[in-house]
Amino acid sequence: MSILASLTPPKGLRVLITAGAGGIGQAIARGFAETGARVHISDVDAEAVKSVTGGAITGSVADASDEAQTHALFDAAREHLGGLDVVIANAGVAGPTANVGQISQAEWDQCLEVNLRGAYLAARFGEAELKASRGSFIAMASVAGRLPYAFRTPYAASKWGVVGLAKSLAAELGPEGVRANAILPGIVKGPRIDRVIQARADQVGVSFEEMREQYLAKVSLRRMVTAEDIAATCLFLASPGGANISGQALSVCGNVETL
């Protein structure tokens, strides 16, 4: 196989992506479908799932933090795909923007449940299939999983946890031929980061534009990344060229220097 050919996933991969109906998840789903993969996505929004599915992409309505719903999701994926080669734990929420003393237990729990429990459930219910296929587990973390993030403590704690989960899975499942990695997106262009920036701007009393510039000033390349940038990294990790990458926390961020 040529080096160029090794950079593309083989045709026919069977891929499950949580929160695959929008944003980063949708870009990943469409990227894999373009390579000839068969993809099963989940999302809590039934209409969003309906808008993305068709052709090579099937889907289920499921809350990634719910054990029973995630179990049913994996059953549906196996039924549609006949097995799994790649599991991408992509579901996540931003959580509150506030001083730790102002964050309620309910807000804390909800952020950890979706971001960290969701990744654990994806690993738990995907383990057997990935062992059978000697496949790849990818967890979506964040640069907040390698840097301190004031006023976003539940989000940061959850993403540090996701990195630890991926690294531990790499050691645990590696002897079975399973690779596990975390991707750490930076400031991803789109409506979600706009909401985060607006929340922080409101908290400190500045304009959205001023806060956006403050965010970008912390990025060496002075620009946001795109959902397609993250999708491309997932495709590489599932390609022959990524076959020996495991246990890594891969930042795709333009080099975020601080948060």
| Spans of all domains in the chain | 5-186+227-252, 187-224
* pLDDT tens track for 135-181: 999 999 999 999 999 999 999 999 999 999 999 999 999 999 999 99
**125-130-133-139 Cα dihedral, nearest 10 degrees:** 130
Length of the chain: 259
Residue type, 7: L
* pLDDT tens track for 178-194: 999 999 999 999 998 99
Tell me, yes or no, if 215 is annotated catalytic.
Answer: no
Q: Please tell me the predicted confidence (pLDDT) of residue 68.
A: 98
Q: How many CB atoms within 10 Å of residue 132?
A: 14
Q: How far is CA 112 from CA 135, 142, 168, in A?
A: 26, 14, 18
**252-169-105-259 Cα dihedral, nearest 10 degrees:** -20
Q: Please tell me the predicted confidence (pLDDT) of residue 11.
A: 97
* pLDDT tens track for 75-120: 999 999 999 999 999 999 999 999 999 999 999 999 999 999 999 9
* pLDDT tens track for 67-77: 999 999 999 99
Q: pTM value?
A: 0.96
Per annotation, catalytic residue among 120, 149, 155, 215: 155
What's the gap between Cα 128 and its chain centre? 20
Q: Please tell me the predicted confidence (pLDDT) of residue 15.
A: 98
pLDDT above 70 covers a percentage of the chain that reads 100
3-state SS class at 219: strand
Architecture of domain 5-186+227-252: 3-Layer(aba) Sandwich (3.40)
